[in-house]
Structure 1
Amino acid sequence: MTDDRTPQGKGSDVHGIFEKIAGYYDRMNVVMTLGRHGKWCREVAERVAPPADGRLLDLATGTGVIALEAARRYPSAEVTGADFSEEMLRRARNKPGAEKVRWQHADAADLPFEDASFDGITEGYLLRNVSDLEGVLREQYRVLKPGGRVVILETCPPSGPAKPVVQWGVRTIVPLLGQVVARDRSSYSYLESSTLAFESPQHIARILKGIGFQAIGWRKKFFGTNVILWANKPR
């Protein structure tokens, strides 16, 4: 599916970056997380825990890592992988098992789904790339069924005594890896800056609570630079 809606994010520049990095996105995720990215995606899929024959939506699906894991883990579920990057979706469609997922071009700020359409929503690295964080989460609340769960994989700014060291590492290593592995320092300089400038899990949790979500929790990963959050829509 294609449409003419403006992609989610902070302008067309963000859309252009994700179109550009699609070819080496998976490789960079593995390198930047020292191989942990796949494990986190599996945890996201495990935590969403839909009912039998449920419907799952994976937002910012990218090359489909979470969506494909969900389809493997829940073979009776209907899994939809949605993204604003056509090139990311093209690569997702060519992966083994892709026929088990419905792939859809969509804007996370204006989802093309009816109210209460899904039993669960997953997402990876969406929120730091949107201009209206609360609005995007409200859209997820709208399309989630009562009793459904959202599970979010996201970056978060480092904190605690190790904060200066971790900040230095992110500022230095991420763009360097972009240059060495992908020969694209500028795109990964953006990803580095968006990581350090993004909100804390506590802030996201407050937004989720204000929207109406309950049973909110999170677990930090990888020196506090990544986090998995979860929340339920009340029945």
Structure 2
Amino acid sequence: MTLLHDAELTAAFDRGADSYDRLVSLNPGYHAHLRRSARRLALPDGGAGRRVLDLGCGTGASTAALAAAFPRAEIVGADASSAMLARARGRRGLERVRFVHATAEELTADGGHGPFDAVFAAYLFRNVAAPDAVLRGVHDLLVPDGRLVAHEYTLGGRRADRLVWSAVCRGVVMPLGALTGDGALYRHLWHSVLRFDTAPEFAARMRRAGFDGVRVLPLPGWQTGVAHTFTGRRHPITADGAR
């Protein structure tokens, strides 16, 4: 199938915003895994004095995970879908978050909202047309030694991982998506995982974008081998001012 991109994908997320949270909440461990990945930013003192960007924040589930992990941080959430953002803005506990209506490409290209001490990106990079450019933009938005955590459906590379993902999509995701009338969106999400990087490939992509200390961390449950947390840092400034 042809994947959705740019305005077409944004429109699909706009149409699916009302039912999206209900569907993903049926996924065992969905919110717990977001909280686990958010904590892997490892900001000290509850994030006091730190600025954190939730890039591609969607309906705010990932933003809520950040707010729980770092209650003292300044958090900015950004998404291309106005309908998704409307739900995020209405989510209890996120009143202190500043939300920005912008695509990942727009926000990372102009740097106008940075710099940030940390960037969190959940389910983002396989849904952008130019992931390398967005990764380089994220790198440039970070302060020296700033941290990126990407929480993503990226298959481990085994044939069994592809089989598990497709079985879940055929048996659960697509029937539920069809009931909401958003089958095209959920077909896209299914095939976007199959066509995107494996976990080792995405880690290599992060390194090419300039990130140091890249780590690939598995998630538990049925998502083992299907979803991963990726962590990396921008180069620190050395004593002689080099990066």
TM superposition score category, shorter chain reference: 0.7 to 0.9
1:37 paired with 2:66, answer: no
User: How far did residue 169 of structure 1 move?
Assistant: 0.3
1:50 paired with 2:46, answer: no
Partners of 1:167 and 1:100 lie apart in 2 by 36
* The one of 70, 75, 84 aligned to 2:80: 84
1:61 paired with 2:61, answer: no
Q: Is the 8 A contact 2:123 2:151 kept in 1?
A: yes
Percent identical residues: 32
User: How far did residue 116 of structure 1 move?
Assistant: 5.7
1:24 paired with 2:22, answer: no
Q: Is the 8 A contact 1:220 1:227 kept in 2?
A: yes
* The one of 200, 203, 206 aligned to 2:204: 206
1:148 paired with 2:146, answer: yes
User: How far did residue 164 of structure 1 move?
Assistant: 5.7
Equivalence for 2:101? 105
Partners of 2:204 and 2:85 lie apart in 1 by 32
Q: Bigger shift: 161-170 or 41-50?
A: 161-170
Matched length: 224
SS of residue paired to 1:99: coil
Partners of 1:60 and 1:188 lie apart in 2 by 17
* The one of 127, 132, 137 aligned to 1:129: 127
RMSD of Structure 2 on Structure 1 (CA):
1.9
Equivalence for 1:195? 193
Q: 1:95 to 1:162 in 2, by over 3 A?
A: same
Unaligned runs of 5+ in 1: 1-8
**CA offsets per residue over residues 145-185 of structure 1, 9 Å max, x none?**
111110011112353252463254045122122124x3432
TM-score, length of structure 1 as denominator length: 0.88
Q: Bigger shift: 150-159 or 40-49?
A: 150-159
Q: Is the 8 A contact 2:31 2:65 kept in 1?
A: no
Equivalence for 2:68? 72
1:93 paired with 2:86, answer: no
TM-score, length of structure 2 as denominator length: 0.85
Q: Is the 8 A contact 2:165 2:226 kept in 1?
A: no
Partners of 1:22 and 1:93 lie apart in 2 by 13
Partners of 1:226 and 1:152 lie apart in 2 by 10
